[in-house]
Amino acid sequence: MKVKILKYKANKILNIHKYVDSWFWNKYSAYPYKGCQFGCEFCYNREARFRPYKDPEDFSKVITIKQNAAELLRDELSKVSIDLVAIGDYQPVERKNKISRKMLGVCLDLKFPVFILERSPLVLRDLDILEDINKRSCAIIAFSIITTPKSKNYSKLRFFEPKSPKVKKRFEAMRKISKKEILTGTVFMPILPYIFDDDENIEDVIKMTVANGGSFVVGGGLTLGRGYKKRYFDILERIDPLLVNKYKALYPTYNVYGPDPEYLGKIALKVTEICEKYQINDRIPRPIEFFPEKIKLNKKIAEIFFDKVYRMEIENKSVYRVWAYRKASWALDALEENVYDIYKESGLIGLDEIRDIGEFFSRQIEEEIKKLIRI
């Protein structure tokens, strides 16, 4: 199938997120292409607000290239503080255009750590730069993998990932990356209900990740946005019409995008349980080495709080408690003073005065400080 390529000069490339992403830890993101030749049917980039074209069919057939992405990135990164950048897009157009490679070169020059989430082993082409970034600051390369060839439903993968590189190739790339001592693993998202959510498939994905040197498996559910829900349901109809009603029950109208939270929690707990069995992380460990010494402890304790948010969410704990923890995590993450200095100087009262912390979280922070710096 012929792909139409459109090139243009963009005005801006760097997205600066208000809060750090507690799944992948990036504060920034920058991508050189719009549209994706891999054309996964569940891709949230199919949503109208991310699509550069009117016709949804164009998502994988018309690719827009931001020609000046690397120059813009250099300019924009030089104006912000060092933090993790989600970057890289290794769809087929990258082979010739090499814009992701140029953007990595910018991160290397400016000492920015990077996070890459890929389906393509083409990322191996840039392993030289990624190794250098990893030595200078940090690189994390995760692979999107939702099943393995051992799954009873593996043949159905072609309906959902029609043009993605083979799963085997992704695991081989993971192995090569792990040998370079770069943090790698699997982003097991989206776990497709009634297709790839069985215990055997979950266990195989985790087992294969471990076997290929991965250090984490992060599981997540399928969201069905308005922009692609109908397409997705049409595929279900083709595979097995009975699936349609099962999905309708799982994606109730009150929750437009995500599945029933109870189902989601059950699947996430299953991933956690099997990760524990194989002694692998069910979250991506937060890289903090590149932060200034002064705020490293804040970032570490924020990570612990973010982790609690995740655990509480999958256990369907009270929304109020989850939000209280989330706000405390954000506050700690944004704190510019060293939290230990505040504690040393003014004890719990000082911690209590930090925005969104209060008495309960002051005690939690005190506990973590004592554990982490053994006072």
Q: How far is the CB of 225 from ligand SF4 (least distance, A)?
A: 12
Q: Of the two residues 162 and 347, which places its CB atom closer to ligand SF4 in the complex?
A: 162
338 binds ligand SF4 per the rule CB under 6 A = no
Gap between the Cα atoms of 230 and 204, Å rounded: 30
Q: How far is the CB of 120 from ligand SF4 (least distance, A)?
A: 8
Q: x/- string (CB under 6 A) for ligand SF4, residues 137-156?
A: --------------------
Amino acid at 32: P
| Letter string b/e over residues 268-299, b meaning 16 or more CB atoms within 10 A of that residue's CB | bebbbebbeeeebbbbbebbbeebeeebebbb
Q: Of the two residues 117 and 354, which places its CB atom closer to ligand SF4 in the complex?
A: 117
Q: How far is the CB of 91 from ligand SF4 (least distance, A)?
A: 6
Residues 7-66 contacting ligand SF4, CB under 6 A: 36, 38-40, 43, 45
Give the number of other Cβ atoms within 10 Å of residue 250's Cβ.
19
Q: x/- string (CB under 6 A) for ligand SF4, residues 100-129?
A: -------------------x----------
Q: Of the two residues 43 and 342, which places its CB atom closer to ligand SF4 in the complex?
A: 43
Question: 94: burial class by Cβ within 10 Å (0-12, 13-18, 19+)?
Answer: buried
| CA distance to 11, 113, 166, 189, 197, per residue, from 152 (Å) | 47, 39, 16, 18, 11
At which residue do the structure tokens 């990322």 appear?
A: 123
Gap between the Cα atoms of 62 and 52, Å rounded: 9
Gap between the Cα atoms of 267 and 274, Å rounded: 11
Size of the site for ligand SF4 (CB under 6 A): 7
Q: How far is the CB of 137 from ligand SF4 (least distance, A)?
A: 25
Q: How far is the CB of 284 from ligand SF4 (least distance, A)?
A: 17
Q: Of the two residues 119 and 283, which places its CB atom closer to ligand SF4 in the complex?
A: 119
Nearest to 286 by CA among 108, 115, 88, 112: 115
Contacts of 70 (CB under 8 A, 6+ apart): 99, 102, 103, 105, 106
Q: How far is the CB of 165 from ligand SF4 (least distance, A)?
A: 9
- 284 neighbors 214 (Cβ within 8 angstroms): no
Q: How far is the CB of 119 from ligand SF4 (least distance, A)?
A: 4
Q: Of the two residues 40 and 295, which places its CB atom closer to ligand SF4 in the complex?
A: 40
Gap between the Cα atoms of 165 and 326, Å rounded: 36
Residues 281-300 contacting ligand SF4, CB under 6 A: none
Q: Of the two residues 23 and 290, which places its CB atom closer to ligand SF4 in the complex?
A: 23
Contacts with ligand SF4 by CB under 6 A lie at 36, 38-40, 43, 45, 119
